[in-house]
Amino acid sequence: MAIISLIEAVSVGKVLLLVVLCAMLYLVRLIVFPPSNYPKNIPTIPFYVSFLGTYTSMDQKDIFEKYIRAKAEKYGAVKIIFGSRWNILVTRPEYLAQVLKDENTFAKSGNHKKIPYAVLSDYTGDNVISAHGAIWRKYRAVITHSVQFPEKDCVLTNTEKFINLIKQDMEESQSKNLPVGDYLQRLTLANICNSMLGTDFNTLEKDKPSKLHQRLKFVKSQIFKPLYMNFPMLDTLPIPERVKTREEVRKFREYLSSEIKARQVDPTNTNKSAAFELYHALQRGEITEKQFTDNIVIILVAGHENPQLFFTSLLYVMAKYPEIQSKLRYETNGKSDKQLEENGYMNSILFETLRLFPPLGQIINRETSKTVALGSDIVIPKGVYVGYNNFATGRDTQYWGPTTDDFIPERWGYTQEDVFKNYKLAKASARLSAFHGGRRACLGERFALYESRVFLKAVLDNFEVCLDESWSDRLTPAGPICPFMLRINFKCLSLDHQISNI
């Protein structure tokens, strides 16, 4: 009897072991190989490439050069794993134009649908960027005008405060070398909060940390941990640190929402900002509390992070190419913000920077609603996530020529008319999609370009900038694109005599 029980126990053990082994093999199969119904006529980027940025010292350019560029240029689309899922990544402009145009087939499907269980999805929810169909149209009806035509005077005041802050901190620390990340975040936060959220969170105060800035930095540092970004499924487990982060996210959203609501009922607030419109849509019962907060959060996030990345890249190109810096300083000297808008050289620098350093280098948030042929023969089944890679498209030699990797503002033209004509053409043909395109194109583009011109001119009026020698020239290893932890050497132009001995 005992022997039979023993044999039975051993057999049950073996069966269990076999089940576990099979489950593990199945998991490995899911990660290593794309599903068998994915198109066979485009190449697969090896699964480990998606983890190189996190686990090696390679930056996004190294990874792109070594593993993606040749395949993307030859085939125009590749299969890639991202966020524990196999996706089709489109890089050829013709294919990208098709994706951007056909919103019904390549339907927006943001994190709230793709990974609803993830902490990241709790953070930004179902918002104007990620929503699809009727819900998206509802959000757009509420905010479109206020985002496209926001109050802009605050940008001039904020930029002036930013310049003073840099000067004061240089004097105080007796150093010309500054890590720019925090300063640029404070400036872009101030711009978006004042203009579109109608609320001043005092992010540019000297010696008085802004509550919003501190809380935002903390909550982001908790959410964006590489392990959970690579394997969002882990957020389904009751891991204590993630449970805590979820709670932090909830508190942050509550704080932001209540501060902004309080400002909208303040009779001294005359700014009919996007927050104002959302608040009144909430009062009229057109949107729910959650939808209000989801959209407030995304305006804060998209409205400051993307410009922050862009400003970082702009500072980098100015510092890296001193001749371009001097020429732009000369070109913009004494010009008003309105004149800057029409300055060909200034705009060509913005567009060239967006081409080489698109803040959102890779976005995968569309899901096919039916089987579809990309181009003539790449057949993608229903229910597959499709994304695009701005970094690859902006550097494709077939479209940008052999000098594609060089920073040449003149490629956009020499006159304002040519520069704008070429920019519009590049956007329409999806050769430059840093601001996306079609019906879902970025609503904040005009504002972002405006604040960038004001920022760049103010920097050049006040400083000569160069790369800090101790800084190693590399891009972010993963995620959004910009020079990684950039440090800039600021030489104060007007106060030079005061600091020349530093």
Q: Distance between CA 186 and CA 486 in Å, rounded?
A: 15
User: Rule CB under 6 A: is residue 443 a binding residue for ligand HEM?
Assistant: yes
Among 360, 392, 426, 475, binds ligand HEM (CB under 6 A): 360
Q: Whose CA is closest to 332, among 191, 417, 495, 453? A: 453
Query: Of 115-123, 211-219, 343-351, 442-450, which part binds ligand HEM (CB under 6 A)?
Result: 442-450
Residue located via tokens 């134009």 = 97
Q: How many residues does the chain have?
A: 502
Q: Which is nearer to ligand HEM, 29 or 137 (CB)?
A: 137
Closest contact distance (angstroms) between CB of 131 and ligand HEM is: 8
Cβ atoms of 199 and 263 closer than 8 Å: yes
Closest contact distance (angstroms) between CB of 448 and ligand HEM is: 4
Q: Which is nearer to ligand HEM, 63 or 128 (CB)?
A: 128
Q: Which is nearer to ligand HEM, 183 or 447 (CB)?
A: 447
User: Rule CB under 6 A: is residue 93 a binding residue for ligand HEM?
Assistant: no
Measured CA to CA in angstroms, residue 408 lies from 312, 352, 401, 453 at distances of: 18, 7, 12, 18
Element (H, E) at 205: none
C-alpha distance across the termini of the chain, in Å: 89
Contacting residues for 470 by C-beta, under 8 A, at least 6 apart: 177, 487
Measured CA to CA in angstroms, residue 74 lies from 10, 175, 499 at distances of: 54, 48, 53
Closest contact distance (angstroms) between CB of 357 and ligand HEM is: 10
User: Rule CB under 6 A: is residue 365 a binding residue for ligand HEM?
Assistant: yes
442 known member of a binding site? yes
Size, binding site for ligand HEM by CB under 6 A: 24
Among 138, 140, 225, 272, binds ligand HEM (CB under 6 A): 140
User: Rule CB under 6 A: is residue 276 a binding residue for ligand HEM?
Assistant: no
User: Rule CB under 6 A: is residue 303 a binding residue for ligand HEM?
Assistant: yes
Closest contact distance (angstroms) between CB of 136 and ligand HEM is: 6
Per-position x/- string for 166-205, each x denoting binding to ligand HEM as judged by CB under 6 A, each - no binding: ------------------------------x---------
Cβ atoms of 398 and 94 closer than 8 Å: no
User: Rule CB under 6 A: is residue 299 a binding residue for ligand HEM?
Assistant: yes
Closest contact distance (angstroms) between CB of 441 and ligand HEM is: 7
Q: Which is nearer to ligand HEM, 169 or 286 (CB)?
A: 286
Among 38, 435, 450, 490, binds ligand HEM (CB under 6 A): 435
Q: What is the DSSP letter of 67?
A: I
Q: Whose CA is closest to 257, among 281, 291, 285? A: 291
Q: Which is nearer to ligand HEM, 119 or 430 (CB)?
A: 430
Query: Of 174-182, 250-258, 259-267, 444-452, which part binds ligand HEM (CB under 6 A)?
Result: 444-452
User: Rule CB under 6 A: is residue 89 a binding residue for ligand HEM?
Assistant: no
Contacting residues for 70 by C-beta, under 8 A, at least 6 apart: none
Helix then strand then coil, % of the chain, to nearest 5: 60, 10, 30
Q: Distance between CA 413 and CA 145 in Å, rounded?
A: 31
Residue nearest to ligand HEM (CB): 444
Q: Whose CA is closest to 213, among 255, 243, 244, 185? A: 185
Contacting residues for 283 by C-beta, under 8 A, at least 6 apart: none
| Three-state DSSP state, 35 | coil
Among 107, 442, 475, 488, binds ligand HEM (CB under 6 A): 442
C-alpha dihedral over 177, 178, 184, 185, to 10 degrees?
170
Query: Of 165-173, 219-227, 355-363, 494-502, which part binds ligand HEM (CB under 6 A)?
Result: 355-363
Q: Which is nearer to ligand HEM, 325 or 433 (CB)?
A: 433
Per the annotation, binding residues for heme are 442
State the residues that interact with ligand HEM by CB under 6 A.
128-129, 140, 147, 196, 299, 302-303, 306-307, 310, 359-360, 363, 365, 434-436, 440, 442-444, 447-448
